[in-house]
Structure 1
Amino acid sequence: MKTLVICSGGLDSVSLAHVIAATGNLSRLVSFDYGQRHRKEIDSAAATATRLGVPHHVIDLRPVGAVLTGSALTDAIDVPDGHYAEDTMRVTVVPNRNAIMLTVGFGLAAAQGDQAVAAAVHGGDHFIYPDCRPAFTDAFQVMQNAALDGYADIRLLTPFVHQTKADIVRAGAAHGTPFQDTWSCYKGGALHCGRCGTCVERREAFHLAGIPDPTAYADPDYWQAAVARKAGA
């Protein structure tokens, strides 16, 4: 089943690309530039496409991102430090981001003759991001069945939707994902900051998976305090 992977260049989506590639079904990677401050993640996605030998499509959504105001990922708002399970992380929501990206992905898949679109949404995202939850992905499949009725039959694959970030690290490691070549940090600096929600979750996931983390963090120890704070909440 020829599969298009929505690939940001982060740990989750690059791991997913390697998992799909191992089946021999990976057709292409699609990334989106929506004006995110951590746009350097797209470079990681491009390197992944080259490594796996598939086309890489970068869709310019900067005009769309410019009107989806109020997010720390696109506006001049500080990205908060801490764990994803803290209410402060809600400021990183970009309204309808996954719905928009998946809609474009399904259109591209239909035009290119692919049979599936894969996205790396996972259980750790459910608290903050409504468009990463099973209720959303199930409803999106129904909507696309209607949108493409009689034209194309495309499945939405979300193999991580009920899994943890640690599960993804294990799956990525099992399929040779070069984690050091992925980018997660929302602050977009020279190094992963080690303090924002995605850095804390990334560092914690390697710890829980029992797999060495090759990532260089500006603050490599902050995650422990963030996890302890979450546990005591």
Structure 2
Amino acid sequence: MKDSIIIVSGGMDSVTLLYDYKDRIALGISFDYGSNHNAKEIPFAKLHCERLGIKHVTIPLDFMHQYFKSSLLEGADAIPEGHYQDENMKSTVVPFRNGIMLAIAAGMAESYGLSHVMIANHGGDHAIYPDCRPEFISAMSNATEAGSYNGVTVLAPYTNITKGDIARRGKELGIDYNETWSCYKGGEKHCGKCGTCVERKEALHYAGIEDTTEYEE
């Protein structure tokens, strides 16, 4: 039964969730909020939705780039290098990004008569991203359910697993991760050094997937 909308960025996690729950997904939504890597990610989101016969839309959120403070919105040179656990990676937080996206997606779900919004946050995000943590997802789901006539809820099945676990699931599903984008710098190739690149490498290794990503290094 097609009862869900998915927020799909075009990265490893959301693409895996898309394939994992494809039989339930009626609509895929990407958000263009002016980050360095939106232009690299979103075409992959569209590609996979079209491949699965799922309608895809991209919603512009230009105001976030204009008014919000984050290194993710300030150009490639502003992106720190290192692991997600490092303190400097907090600069990549886009304040309340998931809250804004979930609110819009919940409104669209109600408009389309759908019951759920799916998001691919995972356990590795918890260290620096407050709007990826279980307590936030639970609170947001309660809010969307209370604030919609049809009781729209948030489904986040990867909340308590790692990106490596997600990659393992993707391997089972036969996903080609070369058709995804991770790097926050958004260059021609993955930089190989920012937090998302480091995490991508670790996840693929953990899952026993050969990493054929083109890196700049």
Whether TM exceeds 0.5 here: the answer is yes
- Equivalent-residue separation in structure 2 for 1:110 and 1:172 (angstroms): 29
Which sections of structure 2, spanning at least 5 residues, go unmatched? none
TM-score, scaled to structure 1:
0.89
Tell me how far 1:195 sits from its aligned partner: 0.3
Could you list the per-position Cα deviations for residues 89-109 of structure 1 after superposition, in whole angstroms to 9, with x for gaps in the alignment?
000000000000000011111
| Corresponding residue number in structure 1 for 2:72 | 73
Residues 31 and 42 of structure 1 are in contact (CA less than 8 Å); yes or no, is this contact kept in structure 2? yes
Tell me how far 1:65 sits from its aligned partner: 2.9
Pair 1:28-2:27 in alignment: yes
Residues 3 and 26 of structure 1 are in contact (CA less than 8 Å); yes or no, is this contact kept in structure 2? yes
**SS in structure 2 of the partner of residue 159 of structure 1:** coil
Could you list the per-position Cα deviations for residues 11-58 of structure 1 after superposition, in whole angstroms to 9, with x for gaps in the alignment?
00001001011xx21211100000111122111111111111111110
Could you list the per-position Cα deviations for residues 92-144 of structure 1 after superposition, in whole angstroms to 9, with x for gaps in the alignment?
00000000000001111110111211100000000010000001001101111
| Corresponding residue number in structure 1 for 2:20 | 19
Pair 1:85-2:57 in alignment: no
- Equivalent-residue separation in structure 2 for 1:90 and 1:44 (angstroms): 26
Tell me how far 1:80 sits from its aligned partner: 0.7
Match of 2:161 among 134, 151, 163: 163
**SS in structure 2 of the partner of residue 177 of structure 1:** coil
Which letter does structure 2 place at the counterpart of 1:195? K
Residues 183 and 190 of structure 2 are in contact (CA less than 8 Å); yes or no, is this contact kept in structure 1? yes
| Corresponding residue number in structure 2 for 1:109 | 109
Q: RMSD of aligned C-alpha atoms?
A: 1.1
Task: Give the length in aligned residue pairs.
Answer: 214
- Equivalent-residue separation in structure 2 for 1:205 and 1:64 (angstroms): 29
Residues 169 and 206 of structure 1 are in contact (CA less than 8 Å); yes or no, is this contact kept in structure 2? yes
Residues 3 and 117 of structure 1 are in contact (CA less than 8 Å); yes or no, is this contact kept in structure 2? yes
Question: Which aligned segments of 4 or more residues in structure 1 are displaced greater than 2 angstroms?
Answer: none
- Equivalent-residue separation in structure 1 for 2:34 and 2:95 (angstroms): 14
Residues 12 and 168 of structure 1 are in contact (CA less than 8 Å); yes or no, is this contact kept in structure 2? yes
**SS in structure 2 of the partner of residue 173 of structure 1:** helix
Which letter does structure 2 place at the counterpart of 1:160? Y
Tell me how far 1:153 sits from its aligned partner: 2.0
User: Identity across aligned pairs (percent)?
Assistant: 46
| Corresponding residue number in structure 2 for 1:229 | none
Tell me how far 1:157 sits from its aligned partner: 0.9
| Corresponding residue number in structure 2 for 1:145 | 145
95-104 vs 138-147, which moves further: 138-147
Residues 18 and 176 of structure 1 are in contact (CA less than 8 Å); yes or no, is this contact kept in structure 2? no
Residues 10 and 42 of structure 2 are in contact (CA less than 8 Å); yes or no, is this contact kept in structure 1? yes
Residues 142 and 153 of structure 2 are in contact (CA less than 8 Å); yes or no, is this contact kept in structure 1? no
- Equivalent-residue separation in structure 2 for 1:82 and 1:142 (angstroms): 35
Which letter does structure 1 place at the counterpart of 2:164? A
- Equivalent-residue separation in structure 1 for 2:28 and 2:176 (angstroms): 17
| Corresponding residue number in structure 1 for 2:187 | 189
